[in-house]
Each structure stands twice: as C-alpha cells, then as structure tokens.
C-alpha cells in the first residue's frame, strides 16, 4: 500500500484546517490533509454551503462555500496534498519522534507533527425513527442541502424544530412548489426571529405547519409521494416529493478517541499557548479542541491555527530561529505567496 511523508498531517479539511495550511505554509511547512468527505470545507461545504456567514472578519457577508473557495485560493501557493473520502484511523509514534498515521484504506503517511482539525469528528445526521426511510435516502430524503436548486419545484416536507429546519423552511420556500414544516410540538429550539418569520409565512398561507410526528412514508422505488403525520387530532397525509429531516447530528470522534489523548466529553483539551494536546507533537484546533471559554466559531479556529503553527515549527525545524514577520512587509513571505 502507498505511503507518504509530510511535515504536518492534518486530520480534516474544514475551514480551520485550510487556514492552518496558510499559517504553516508561511513558516515553510508542507501539509497533507485527509478528510472523510469528498471535498474540502467541512461543515461549511457539507451542511450549509449556500448560507451567508456574517462574522468572518473583513467579510460583512460571505456564503459558507464562498469562504471555503477563498481559503482554497489563499492556500494555493503552498500546494497542500489532499486525500478525500479517506478516514484517518490509526496512529503510531515513531522512534524519531514523528508519527505514522494509517488511513482506512491502509495507506500510511509519516509526519513530524499531527494537527487534529476534525471538527465534531465524523459527523453523521441523526436518522428519524421512521420505518423504511433508508429506501428513500439520497433520492427523496436528504439530511443536508448541498444545492438549493435541487429543491426547486418540489413538494417539500421539512422536519424538525431547530435552526436548520427553520432556516431551510425560510430559504427554500421561494423555490419549492410547496413547503410543509413538521415538528412534534409548537415550541422551537431555533432563533426567535426565524420562528416569527416562519409563523408569519404560515399566516399568509405561504407554507403549511403541522404539529406531529412522521410515522409513515409512501412512495415507490425511492421516490416519495406522501408522508403520514400523526398529530394531536389523528393522522393526516401530506403529499410530498422530497423530505428534509433535521434531527441534529451525532458527532462521533471516531478512531481519534482511541489515540490515548485526554478527552473532555467529545473534544480534545489543549493549552491556549500552543494548542497542543496531552501528547507532544499532536495539536488540536477548531471545533474539536477544548479549553476554558472555547467558542466553536471559525474565527476562533483561525487564531488557534496561527499559534499552533509557531509551536509546530519548533518541532519540524528544531533549533531554527523563527522571526515574527508581517505579511504586509516581509519580502520573503511575498516570495512564498508569489506576490509580484
Ligand atoms: P469542520 O468544519 O467540522 O471540519 C472537520 C472535518 O474533519 C470534516 O470535514 C470531517 O469530515 C473531517 N474529519 C473528522 N474526523 C475525521 C477523520 N478521522 N478522518 C478524516 N477526516 C475527518 N461558525 C461561525 O463562525 N459563524 C457562523 O455563522 C456559523 N454558522 C453555522 C451554521 C451552521 C448551520 C452550522 C452547522 C455551523 C455554523 N458555524 C458557524 C460553525 C462552523 O461551521 C464551525 O465552527 C467550523 O466548521 C469548524 O471548522 P473545523 O475546521 O474545526 O471543523
């Protein structure tokens, strides 16, 4: 089986991992990123690519996929290696102080430093307990919206009472032929503003809202034709061609849980000077990391990446003096970035 060598192996290719490539690249470290998904961007690309983000410094508004695209452009000069559709599973400490990781297809990669930027781990949508739902998954039942256009003209049933269910009800209503929101009770866990907007839409007759639980799916060969909602007044049949259940995600740390690292619930405790884990040479940044006051925000992950890179450099190039430089004025940085 194939094997490779790199300075830094990054577990995950979410937004924080991508920015880490930039910070590590400025300090001349080569990166290899591995992600279970089939493309870069983590939660941004998988869960909400078309949604606007408003708290990225310098971008008053940017779509989640737009941010990923900009990050990829920013790190292009450093030519990172990507391995997609692959899970990092095994970890072995080498005698020279480095590490050997094993991917789920048997490939091995040796690295001087490991950076875990695995977000919530391998995130899996929670499947609602509806008999036979598997037969519709990927054709009529979807757990995320990769392309809003795919729902144009559809009779859509959205299930859930959290932010995702409410946001997609509001965002897909203009495109879909009809949207019905189904939630088991009249109270929501979503932002009050979204709830108010949804209720106003219902009053204007622009969407339907049913209280109850989906107990049955009807259709043929993976194509839904209706769902049965069991509510306080009995069962009703709602015609639909697509269903989007948002029952939350199970964040499974996966094989990383067996790496002997200290854990804080499903996160990895780090120090806030270097963002190093309980194992020297293994760092954790982004949503997967934990320290007092941790905020699971992209901008926090960017800061963590910058400090991690300084500490990683001391391991990758021991004894080399690291001179702090601004990207604005450093000619050596300009050379690395290809600035004319
Ligand atoms: P992730 O984006 O979770 O990426 C981690 C990657 O690691 C994933 O692609 C996963 O497949 C991969 N991975 C995990 N385990 C392994 C393994 N063993 N092997 C290989 N790959 C692995 N944040 C904001 O700052 N502002 C917002 O407005 C905002 N809005 C949001 C809206 C929604 C609907 C959601 C769900 C999140 C939002 N967030 C927002 C949170 C933000 O998306 C996360 O903070 C961010 O994605 C964390 O980035 P990350 O790189 O740490 O992890």
Instruction: Please report where in the chains the tokens 């490539």 appear, as a residue.
Output: 21
Instruction: Please report where in the chains the tokens 């499974």 appear, as a residue.
Output: 252
Complete edge-to-edge strand list for the sheet that includes strand 242-245: 208-211, 178-183, 155-159, 242-245
- Contact criterion met (CB below 8 Å) for 308 and 20: yes
> Which residues, 6+ apart, have CB-to-CB distance to 225 below 8 Å?
218, 219, 239, 240, 241
User: How far apart are the C-alpha atoms of 117 and 10, rounded to whole Å?
Assistant: 7
CA-closest candidate to residue 291, choices 273, 313, 321, 271? 271
- Contact criterion met (CB below 8 Å) for 20 and 46: no
The full set of domain ranges for the chain reads 3-123+249-337, 127-245
User: How far apart are the C-alpha atoms of 149 and 145, rounded to whole Å?
Assistant: 9
Q: Which residues line ligand 1 (CB under 6 A)?
A: 11-17, 34-37, 42-44, 47-48, 53, 55, 87-88, 117-122, 164, 254-256, 286-287, 296-299, 301
Interaxial angle between packed helices 163-172 and 192-203, expressed in degrees from 0 to 180 and rounded to the nearest 10: 40
Q: What is the number of the ligand 1 atom nearest to the C-alpha of 255?
A: 18
User: How far apart are the C-alpha atoms of 155 and 153, rounded to whole Å?
Assistant: 7
The annotated binding site for FAD is made up of: 35, 43, 48, 88, 123, 287, 328
At 125 the pLDDT is: 78
Q: What is the end-to-end Cα distance of the chain in Å, rounded?
A: 41
Ranges of residues in the chain whose predicted pLDDT is under 50 = 1
CA-closest candidate to residue 249, choices 83, 35, 46, 16? 46
User: How far apart are the C-alpha atoms of 247 and 228, rounded to whole Å?
Assistant: 18
What is the pTM (predicted TM-score) of this model?
0.76
- Alpha carbon of residue 261 to chain centroid: 22
Q: Tens of pLDDT along 106-159?
A: 999 999 999 999 998 876 678 999 999 999 998 999 988 878 999 999 999 999
At 2 the pLDDT is: 53
How many CA atoms, within 13 angstroms, populate the side-chain half-sphere of residue 335? 5
Per CATH, the homologous superfamily of domain 127-245 is: FAD/NAD(P)-binding domain (3.50.50.60)
The annotated binding site is made up of: 35, 43, 48, 88, 123, 287, 328
Q: What is the DSSP letter of 301?
A: H
Does the complex come out with an ipTM higher than 0.90? yes
Alpha helices in 79-229 (DSSP H): 163-172, 192-203
Burial class (CB in 10 A: 0-12, 13-18, 19+), 33: buried
Cα-to-centroid distance, 6 and ligand 1 (Å)? 24
The CATH architecture assigned to 3-123+249-337 reads 3-Layer(bba) Sandwich (3.50)
| Helix, strand and coil in the chain, % to nearest 5 | 30, 30, 40
Tell me if residue 297 falls in helix, strand or coil: coil
Q: What is the number of the ligand 1 atom nearest to the C-alpha of 253?
A: 15
At 157 the pLDDT is: 98
At 145 the pLDDT is: 82
At 251 the pLDDT is: 67
Q: Whose CA is nearest to atom 6 of ligand 1?
A: 12
Pairing of strands 99-103, 268-269: unpaired
- Alpha carbon of residue 37 to chain centroid: 9
Pairing of strands 208-211, 178-183: parallel
Task: Please choose from 43, 47, 125, 284 the residue to mutate so as to test ligand 1's pocket, defined by most ligand atoms within 8 A of CB.
Answer: 43
């Amino acid at each position: 089986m194939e094997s490779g060598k790199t300075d830094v192996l990054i577990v995950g290719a979410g937004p924080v991992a991508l920015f880490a490539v930039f910070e590590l690249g400025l300090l001349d470290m080569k990166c290899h990123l591995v992600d279970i998904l089939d493309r870069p961007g983590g939660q941004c690309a998988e869960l909400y690519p078309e949604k606007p983000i408003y708290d990225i410094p310098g971008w008053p508004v940017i779509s989640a996929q737009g941010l990923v695209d900009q990050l990829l452009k920013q790190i292009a000069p450093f030519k990172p290696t990507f391995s997609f559709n692959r899970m990092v599973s095994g970890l072995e400490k080498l005698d020279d102080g480095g590490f050997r990781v094993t991917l789920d297809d048997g490939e091995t990669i040796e690295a001087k430093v490991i950076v875990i930027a695995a977000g919530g781990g391998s995130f899996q949508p929670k499947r609602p307990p509806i008999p036979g739902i598997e037969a519709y998954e990927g054709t009529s039942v979807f757990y995320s919206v990769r392309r809003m256009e795919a729902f144009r003209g559809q009779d859509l049933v959205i299930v859930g009472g959290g932010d995702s269910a409410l946001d997609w009800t509001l965002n897909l209503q203009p495109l879909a032929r009809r949207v019905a929101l189904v939630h088991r009770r009249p109270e929501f866990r979503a932002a009050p503003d979204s709830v108010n907007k949804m209720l106003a839409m219902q009053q204007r007759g622009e969407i339907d809202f049913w209280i109850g639980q989906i107990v049955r799916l009807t259709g043929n060969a993976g194509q839904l034709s209706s769902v049965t909602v069991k509510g306080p007044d009995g069962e009703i049949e709602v015609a639909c061609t697509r269903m989007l259940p948002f029952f939350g995600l199970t964040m499974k740390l996966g094989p990383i849980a067996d790496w002997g690292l200290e854990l804080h619930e499903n996160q990895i405790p780090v120090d806030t000077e270097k963002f190093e884990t309980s194992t020297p040479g293994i760092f954790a940044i982004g949503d997967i990391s934990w320290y007092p006051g941790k905020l699971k925000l992209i901008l926090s992950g960017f800061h963590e990446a910058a400090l991690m890179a300084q500490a990683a450099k001391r391991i990758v190039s021991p004894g080399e003096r690291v001179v702090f430089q601004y990207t604005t004025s450093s000619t050596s940085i300009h050379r690395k970035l290809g600035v004319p």
